[in-house]
Structure 1
């Protein structure tokens, strides 16, 4: 048997505050079955209790209200479940990132950084298929995933084998302003003929001298490698002005499922000549 109850009683049944219930009414997420025209008092059906419980649990999982609306509106259980699975996947990724940040913080507080090996080399000029955009720092992982997929798919479609290790260059502005120019690249083999699709380009990279260090492990500790290498360069070398830092992805997510196995070369551009 279905009954209706006042908003205060419904709050007790659902553990949602009266203030929250009024807000959900205003945004049309959970509307009362009746509103007294004279007093404005709201009444809810006991049939709505289960829906209210679902909303509260989804909010406890930090699901945004628009997504909760999608879940409630889904007539097909498969559509509803797909939305819930996608949110849980995002939460699991955030939880993993939190674990990595905690581990990185513990290491920073308890373990000194291991000595950094710095090598010097002149990287020869090369030609690459590239994608260049202004990217926000917080979106760089997602952007790189899309950019490199596009680059490799374009090469595969043209029957061209990559001519070397893929990488990316990062402008000084990217670090200073947290938004700046990033170029993802995949080197082309000598003599390759390729017409780049929209959004991509063929770019000539000139020869450059670099101080190079290898970062191994999760990206949460990337700043420590940057700090150590950049400090070494400041103390022993002369930075090449206005030249972006280059990263070369020796081992990445496409080759291993374990972030501890990632290996990235960080290449700091320096002037020609002997190190100080």
Structure 2
């Protein structure tokens, strides 16, 4: 039948059918070599209607081709449904951020002297999209090997979020202490305050109860830049000094190694390889801009936006890594009731230490 008649049969326009042909989605059954007229068959009606329906649902062209080519389109349709559901969830998160901005909610920011911290820690490399899952894995690993520790849990993140970044989680380990006030021991199988526990036996780690956990998943700012945190690759950004003997940074192993995670020791016990305890991570005392964020982790970008704006308005310079301490965590409260302390170390670019005078070569010892 002619393209016009086929279009009326499928409740489509001739223009749409020509467009589908140009895209390679629905080619005519026959094209007259002399006139160029397109002809279709009734057997093509289902594909034409399917294309129109999927285009209306904003399914991309590769997805439409997959549906049309599949003997059973169920799998391809399920994939597109999941993609759309994920996009809707992201749009809901963006809507919540805009709603909170429009409400005029503000973050109170203070300049404080943060004390030094000595943390048992785990680090890992991640992509932007995998940030939440990576942090959940690191927390599970850390809790699985730390007998007793003092809350809160800490997260360290680079100021520039990008694929290939290193992120770190840590906690103050309490050596040889029984559980008591201010000391926490892992609960069998359930972790602490909703965090997962990865047993050292190698049986895997419990899934993070909140897969959106992490610094904003990720920390997107209003200008499209990123802020958040992980232990950066630059040693000077952390203030951690190299070990004098080996030249390596405590907890990171020999220079050039991509992760601090310890290799299994060659010695084995009844339960398998023995994993040596990594050296602790030392975070130096620092002056920092600090705020409390009340709400889900996927809105942490609001806190970073407020703190970084406050820092720059006062002529200060942010210094990574950013630190987050999780005061109210998943398992204790609903996402809207979580409390996260955001700490961004700063330095005053106008404050310079007094130069040390050079020794006088003409001066003699008395």
TM score, norm. by length of structure 1: 0.69
1:165 aligns with 2:153: yes
1:112 aligns with 2:104: yes
CA displacement 1:132-183 (0-9 Å, x = unmatched):
36x5xxxx3x221342355356668xx5248662523123x44xxxx47733
User: Aligned equivalents of 2:327 and 2:304: distance in 1?
Assistant: 17
1:170/1:244 contact within 8 Å kept: yes
1:116/1:213 contact within 8 Å kept: yes
SS of equivalent residue, structure 2 residue 145 = coil
1:222 aligns with 2:300: yes
**Displacement, 1:268?**
1.0
1:233/1:239 contact within 8 Å kept: yes
User: Aligned equivalents of 2:71 and 2:163: distance in 1?
Assistant: 44
- Go from structure 1 to structure 2 and tell me whether the alpha carbon gap of 1:102 and 1:62 turns closer, same or farther (over 3 Å shift): same
2:70/2:76 contact within 8 Å kept: no
| Alignment partner, residue 267 of structure 1 | 343
- Go from structure 1 to structure 2 and tell me whether the alpha carbon gap of 1:93 and 1:119 turns closer, same or farther (over 3 Å shift): farther
| Alignment partner, residue 72 of structure 1 | 68
**Displacement, 1:219?**
5.3
Counterparts of residues 28-107 of structure 1 (less than 5 Å): 28-76=24-72, 80-107=73-100
- Go from structure 1 to structure 2 and tell me whether the alpha carbon gap of 1:117 and 1:26 turns closer, same or farther (over 3 Å shift): closer
Larger-gyration structure (1/2): 2
2:97/2:299 contact within 8 Å kept: yes
1:129/1:186 contact within 8 Å kept: yes
| Alignment partner, residue 124 of structure 2 | 131
User: Aligned equivalents of 1:148 and 1:223: distance in 2?
Assistant: 17
**Displacement, 1:261?**
3.5
How many correspondences in the alignment? 247
Q: Determine which of 284, 301, 313 is the counterpart of 1:207.
A: 284
**Displacement, 1:225?**
2.0
**Displacement, 1:64?**
1.0
**Displacement, 1:66?**
0.8
**Displacement, 1:215?**
1.3
| Alignment partner, residue 14 of structure 2 | 18
Unaligned 5+ runs, structure 2 = 176-199, 201-250, 262-279, 349-366
Q: Which has the higher strand share?
A: 1
CA displacement 1:191-232 (0-9 Å, x = unmatched):
9x9999x96434845324333322122456534322433355
CA displacement 1:51-77 (0-9 Å, x = unmatched):
21121111111111111111122213x
- Go from structure 1 to structure 2 and tell me whether the alpha carbon gap of 1:41 and 1:122 turns closer, same or farther (over 3 Å shift): same
SS of equivalent residue, structure 2 residue 320 = coil
Counterparts of residues 245-264 of structure 1 (less than 5 Å): 245-250=322-327, 255=331, 259-264=335-340
User: Aligned equivalents of 2:337 and 2:76: distance in 1?
Assistant: 32
